[in-house]
Each structure stands twice: as structure tokens, then as C-alpha cells.
Amino acid sequence: MNRPITTARRSILRRFAAGVLLGLLPLTALAADPLRIGLILPLTGPFASTGKQIEAAVRLYSAKNGDTVAGRKVQLIVKDDTGVAPETTKRIAQELVVQDKVNVLAGFGLTPLALAAAPVATEAKIPMVVMAAATSIIPSKSPMIVRSGFTLPQITGPIADWAAKNRIKRVVTMVTDYGPGIDAEKTFIARFKAGGGEVVESIRTPLRNPDYAPFLQRAKDAKPDALFVFVPSGEGLAVMKQFDDRGLKQAGIRLIGTGDVTDDDLLENMGAAAVGVITSFHYSAAHDSPENKAYVDAFTRANNGMRPNFHSVGGYDGMNLIYEAVKKTGGTANGEALVEAMKGLKWVSPRGPMAIDPASRDVVQTVYLREVKIVNGKPWNVEFDKVENVRDPGN
């Protein structure tokens, strides 16, 4: 690790001055014009685990596929935007474009961050690959945006349909009170009602929420057949524990939700409490395919045993999208040509078959229904059914 700070005040000032000057040196003539990818991720702050997963996957992709594509060297520039301040994300995007002359912008952990950066991509005519942010509207905000992750309505629909078909009549929904949560709630209610089900109560939990117990108690007292849950990545653990602790399972209430709740990153920590939870999602680390076996294997080995989660495949497939597009254009890095090349691309990802819809530039993929089961002593999201070619219903 660098040690940019020493204890003497004067030395600090001197080093600041030196740092500022160093930053000024023009980035001159680095061998035959590499393809520069600016990766903006939340690597610190409350969403740091998202950034960590994506960065690890992106690095794995480069390691596996080489750092040269169509004769051009690929240069990654990774920046931390802390995950909370849109103006920082936008500033970093501007700096990457103006100063580092990147050919592609990628990453984007949360919706507001992606939305803030969208005009930069439009104005600079640079492709912007959205790897994690998941509200429907994002690709409509710039013709340069292509999404490699997922959209929330896309992965919420199938669990609603499944519930309606599987003798679940009355459901309480519990979502976090912000954009994506409300997206999930709306989609679930619409689809579940269309399937003949009844939503007895809709609970929205505040964003900053230290304790889920009272909400779960309220859900329990409403005596539904199932509780539908969406919470942001990372919060699933707390929900699962309280669900178990409150005895909702014993009261005959099933837990269903989007796959964020049984996030692969945290599933091992949830242990037996998560067993039996049914979710619909686009990626499970237990997905049964040779591509995924190789992926999970390489990822865990490279990352100290960390299991890849859904954000990681967003990063991995985002890189694949960029590589394939550059191959298709024969190495030109013209932004509009790249976006054009990305439209309609199809490939088999560790998550299964996926494609980019040419009209909406959004991801089209298989959504799986999974149940948490203990396999070889560890909990996994085991897939038992799937819906192919799911689009974002908003598009």
C-alpha cells in the first residue's frame, strides 16, 4: 500500500503539491493506443460489497480472456465513487472522458449514480455499460447505455406467477421504501393479482432500518400464506434471521422474494435459516452448467473463497459485451459503432443464455426459480424451474 501521508505537516503540504503536479503530467504516448475502460464502482461505503464483486469479476474476465482484444491492449481504470453521491460519479465520468480519454464507461452500482452519469455518455458519445443498477428506466436515459446486469421488474415477475400457481393465496409484501423496492412491489402485486392471488398488506421499510423485527411481527400477525420480500443487497441476512427467529416458518408462512434476499455472497452466513426460501432470479452460483462451474471455481480461487453473486456476473458479462463488440467492429473504438455492435449480441454466460435487446439496449435473459437447499453441507440456491427470454416488462 502506498504511504502518501507522513506525520510532519510540512511534508504533507509538500506531498500534496507534488501529487497535484504529478497528476498534471500529460498521459502521453502509451504504446499503440490501448482500449481504455473506465470502471466506476462503489468500492467504499455501504455498497462496497457490490463494487468488490464486480471488480473481482472484471479482473477475472481479463485474466481469462487476455488483455488484448482485436489487436488492442485493454487498459482498466478503476475508480471509487463511494456509492452515495451522484455528483461524484458524474465528475469521475467527466474526468475519465476528458482526461483519461476512455473508450468505454462501465460499472454503476446504483440507479441515481447511473442516471447522473448518463448525460456524459450521451454528450461524449461513449458507450456506458451498466453492470449493477437495476431500475427499468436507466437505458432510456441515453442512447449510449447498454445494460449487462438485470432489471428488477424482469426478475420479480416470475416469482409472482409461481406463487399464484402454487396454492399461495394471500401474501404480505415487504419492500424497502425506495425506487427499486417500489418497482418490485408494483410488479409483484400486478402479476400476483392477475394470477388470482390477494395481497393483504404492503409494508415499506425505511431505507435506514436497524431492526426488521416489528415489520415481520406485523406480517406474521396478518397470517398470510407467504411473505414477499425485496431488500437491497446485503440486508437479506438481517431479514432472514428475524424471519427465522420470529417463528414465521412455524406459523406456516413461506418466504418468497427476489434473489437479492438469498444473495450468494451472504447465503453461507444465513445457514439453515434460509432453507426452503423460494426466489426468482437471473443468477445462482449453483446454476448447473459447465460455464458456471468453471466460473465459480476460478472466482472462488482468485478471491479467497468468496462466492460470486449476481453483481459479479453483471461485471463479467459487461466485460464480455465490450470484448465482443470490439471484436465485431474490428478494433475501432468509435462509441456509436460499439453500441451498434452490442445491440443484438447473444452469448452463453455463467448465468445461462442471455442477449441484448437491439431496441431497448436492455438485457434479455432466462429467469430461474430457485429454492434454498443444503448441498454438501452448505446452503445453495438450487434452480428448479425457469422462464426463458424474459424482458423488462417496462420496455
- Binders of another protein among residues 66 to 105 (CB under 8 A) are 78-80, 84-87, 90-91, 94-95, 97-99
Taking CB under 8 A as the binding criterion, the range among 151-159, 201-209, 315-323, 373-381 that sits at the site for another protein is 201-209
Residue 338 burial class via C-beta count within 10 angstroms: exposed 0-12, middle 13-18, buried 19 and up: buried
How far is residue 395's CA from residue 382's CA, in Å, rounded to a whole number?
A: 29
Residues 219-278 that bind another protein (CB under 8 A): 221, 234-235, 237-238, 241, 244-247, 265-266, 269-271
| Angle in degrees, 0-180, between the axes of helices 86-98 and 111-124, rounded to the nearest 10 | 30
Note whether 1 binds another protein by CB under 8 A: yes
Residue 96 vs 325, nearer CB to another protein: 96
Residue with cell 453492470: 131
**46-65: which residues touch another protein (CB under 8 A)?**
46, 48-49, 51-52
Interface residue with another protein, options 36, 59, 72, 141 (CB under 8 A): 141
Quote the least distance from Cβ 86 to another protein, whole Å.
4
Indicate whether 167 belongs to the interface with another protein (CB under 8 A): no
Q: How far apart are CA 112 and CA 336, in angstroms?
A: 24
Task: Write a three-state SS string for 350-393.
Answer: CCEEEEECCCCCCEEEEEEEEEEEEECCEEEEEEEEEEEEECCC
Give CA–CA dist 138/152, Å, rounded: 12
Determine, following the binding rule CB under 8 A, whether residue 30 of this chain makes contact with another protein. no
Output 69 or 131, the one with its CB closest to another protein: 131
Q: Should residue 208 be labelled a site residue for another protein when binding is judged by CB under 8 A?
A: yes
By CB under 8 A, residue 143 contacts another protein: no
Give the nearer residue to another protein in terms of CB position, either 101 or 169.
101
Residue 202's alpha-carbon distances to 83, 241, 252, 375, in angstroms, are 28, 21, 19, 34
Binding residues for another protein restricted to 168-197, rule: CB under 8 A = 177-179, 182
Query: Taking the complex as a whole, how short is the minimal distance between the CB of residue 299 and another protein, in angstroms?
Result: 14
Supply 184's cell numbers. 418490485
Instruction: Tell the smallest beta-carbon distance from residue 313 to another protein (Å).
Output: 17
* 130 contributes a contact to another protein by CB under 8 A: no
Contact of 189 with 202, CB cutoff 8 Å: yes
